[in-house]
Amino acid sequence: SGGGGGGSSSSSSGGGSNGGGRGHGMAHSLTRAFERADEQFLALAANEALGDGSTLLVAIVEERRVYVANAGDCRAVLVKRGGKAVALSEDHKPNLPRESKRIKESGGHVYFDGSWRVEGILAVARALGDMLLKPYVTATPDVVEHEVSDDDLYLILASDGLWDTISNEEAARIVLSAADFKAVAAELVERAQDADSMDNITALVIKL
């Protein structure tokens, strides 16, 4: 995940909709970037016999607009004045109706075995790589354009290792109550670890 803006705090543990004009051009550019990265990785994977893959979340802060592109189950959450949390991305879980429909229409299947998985293997419906699950698992992202208001204070980007144990609202409260902005991403990671998150955790907080 990546981003830029008025400032940022990041930490790791372990491994839409868009408007016209400039927004439409940005959505096209981000979509093509995701798809090209996927093509290049798949070429490498074919040579090296790699079945690996990765989710990807990108945020671009440009003047008073934020563009979020997502493929997978990382999540972007906007923190507003007063503690309101607004998700700017949707987790691409295989049982999400539109994802399940897309997978089935491309000839794939979604199975439940403790959790919903594509072909009983992968717990996300979109990702880069995962050569053996193409075309069911796509790298094409959702792209959302958001016009920043004076009430928009921060943007949290984090992997599912955080969101599995911390709600959007709780994450917003942690960010707003942090005494040191530079350490707030590390605090989010620590809170998720304390809640026994079983996945790798990466968090980035952007000041808008």
Q: What is the DSSP string of 60-92?
A: EEETTEEEEEEESS-EEEEEETTS-EEESS---
Tell me the CA end-to-end span of the chain in Å, nearest whole number: 17
Domain 7-207 has CATH 3.60.40.10: yes
Please give the model's pTM, rounded to 2 decimal places: 0.86
Q: Is the pLDDT of residue 3 over 60?
A: no
Return the amino acid letter for 81.
Answer: R
pLDDT tens for each residue of 117-158 = 999 999 999 999 999 999 999 999 999 999 999 999 999 999
Is 167:182 a contact under the CB 8 Å cutoff?
A: no
Distances (CA, A) of 131 to 16, 49, 51, 59, 134: 25, 9, 6, 25, 6
Distances (CA, A) of 15 to 11, 12, 18: 12, 8, 31
Distances (CA, A) of 134 to 19, 48, 68, 102, 166: 30, 17, 24, 12, 31
Return the amino acid letter for 34.
Answer: F
Residue 208 DSSP label: -
- Residue 50: predicted pLDDT: 87
pLDDT tens for each residue of 93-111 = 999 999 999 999 999 999 9
